[in-house]
Amino acid sequence: MRINLNSGVYLQIQGDLGKYNSIPIDTLIKISKNLQKLIFTIAKYDLPSDEPLIMENFIIELVGFEKGSAVPMFAYSPRTENTYGLNWQLHRVSVNEKFEKLIEISSLDNYNELKNLYPESSKRIPIVNDLYKFANDFNNSPVSIVDYQEEEKKFIPLYKINKFENSVKKELIKEEKIFESVSKEINEGVAKVEVTTANGKITKKIIDYYTQRNISLEYAPEVIVSKMCTYVLKYPLRCLFEKEDDFFVIQSEMLSIIGTGLTRDEAEESFSEEFDFIYRRFNSLDDEALTNHNKLIKSILNQIVDKIE
């Protein structure tokens, strides 16, 4: 990898923005926010759905600043309170690799490649929107990801960040999905719908549509309500939600929890009660009484539960 967010990434800003070897505060804040948003979006859409998504693991910080024009340096937060879970290091590497791929696409000025990298519009659209904001933060000032040679006191260009044209963006986020006519044997489907409210008007747009008899979607509760209590989670618990013939199934492979029902509500209730049982049962036992696998599940449960009401 040429980009490493663990050790730090230098962003060289030249032209009018960086000609005084400085950056206006409002511009630096805007760049930082849009870079952070892009990193979060990559994590949200590229990490495995069967593992917990902990956004704190992907917080970045300004860790350095060099002259030549203005060269801020960003890196993953080194603070221990921003590292959670069992696989945070691997997840950081995965997000770093995808971030570098996006920067490489920008450097080649080949933003249309995003359609191949993210064929599903539900993932491509947020990535395109956030990459567009970041790439266009610098007006007409040349910007590059660079490597700093300490001994020679000079910067080596790695990737140039090219402007993301609005016309290209519009093509990439345009809905091109053409739904096939449904045969008489199929009498139901499932859609992901984006709901937007503006000036009191509600607009609904289909993001993805499923006509298969067996469907698979993502279920990610932040609050789990059982008959006994309510579990407030630190982050969404991403699970697989399936419709198998006449049954709904919600499954967390990570926690070995499955909920089923004839309706989605029944499946959610079943999943919540199973979550409650496992949490109470494992925390009522000493680690010596648990298998290694169940010790791991107990540890994850205690990490993801923020509070119980």
Instruction: Locate the domains of the chain by residue range.
Output: 9-173, 213-308
pLDDT at 194: 67
Q: 122 falls in which pLDDT band (50, 70, 90)?
A: confident
Q: What percent of the chain has pLDDT over 70?
A: 87
Does residue 305 come out as left (phi exceeding 0), alpha (psi in the -120 to 50 range) or beta? beta
Rg (CA), the chain: 23
pLDDT at 245: 67
* End-to-end Cα separation, the chain, in angstroms: 45
CA distance 208 to 253: 24
> Residues 250-286: pLDDT tens digits?
988 888 898 888 888 898 999 999 999 999 999 999 9
> Residues 80-113: pLDDT tens digits?
877 877 788 999 999 999 999 999 999 999 999 9
Higher-pLDDT residue of 209, 298: 298
The total of other beta-carbon atoms located within 10 Å of residue 27's CB is 18
Beta carbons of 95 and 39 less than 8 angstroms apart: yes
pLDDT at 186: 46
φ and ψ at residue 286, rounded to 5 degrees:
-70, 155
Q: Is 209 a residue whose pLDDT tops 80?
A: no
Q: Which two tokens stand for residue 240?
A: 């697989």
> Residues 49-86: pLDDT tens digits?
766 778 888 999 999 999 889 999 999 999 887 787 77
User: For 162-190, what is the mean pLDDT?
Assistant: 69
Q: How many residues does the chain have?
A: 309
The most confident of 51-55, 82-86, 202-206, 292-296, by mean pLDDT: 292-296
